[in-house]
Amino acid sequence: MDVVDQILQQALLFGISIIANGLSAMAGGGAGLLQFPALIFLGLSFSLALATHKVASVALGVGATIRHLKEKRLSWKFAGHILIFGLPGVVLGAMLILHVPDDLAKKVLGGLTIALGLYSGFKPELGMQAKPKQFQTVQWLIGGSILFLIGVLNGSITSGTGLFVTIWLVLWYGLDYQRAVAYTLILVGMVWNGVGAVTLASQASVQWSWVTALVLGALIGGYFGAHLSIAKGSRLVKRCFESVTILVGISLLV
């Protein structure tokens, strides 16, 4: 590959990363819905694309965290609940996924992606208003158990799991969409993905020559996507994101 091709490749990766992570920061997850399949389509194997995407996706959490922490609306006790239950699942999923055949992993990824887009499409008002809930120990354990299972998906399938977390925080815990997005981007985007990245990088190769462009795009996209989510709301972006979700899922299945 000559110098011009390398520059074009890096520019393409940078652009994909900005768009994917910007949408993710606005919608509360799903950078992998665009970025991860794009890495596969650009020629990486499933395991190599997975490890590369996971390493780069940590920057999304960093960029979004810088913006969301300015709002000072988060409960660190609740954040601890999400981490305690979710992180063991992330590690387990990252250890299991590399033993799954590529074709099967792509089919599962495509099916989950389409299902996620359809579900979100049929719930247009999902998370528009907060519905606070008073929990007993049992409800906390049930909620945490689902977070553990989503963590397994986050460590393995990687695509769209942030949005699963966002939806679960809204449905079970009664958060409004905007606050659920903030928790997802900070805890899933930075901490869950960070742990998953370390676990995967210790087992699989990473396309390090692509990481810089992806990280820079994620930092920029994450910050400005979070800013738009806070300043403008996310109804229109949610609709666009659902369309992209379904299209990417179909492309992976086909």
Domain boundaries, the chain: 3-253
Least reliable range by pLDDT among 55-59, 97-101, 189-193, 199-203: 97-101
Please provide the average confidence, as pLDDT, over all residues in the chain. Answer: 81
Kindly tell me if the per-residue pLDDT of 129 is higher than 90. Answer: no
Token pair 């492309």: residue: 251
Residue 104's CB is within 10 A of a number of other CB atoms, namely: 10
Angle (CA) 169-88-223 rounded to 5° is: 50
Share of the chain above pLDDT 90, in %: 16
Kindly tell me if the per-residue pLDDT of 240 is higher than 90. Answer: no
pTM of the model: 0.79
**Cα end-to-end distance, the chain, whole Å:** 29
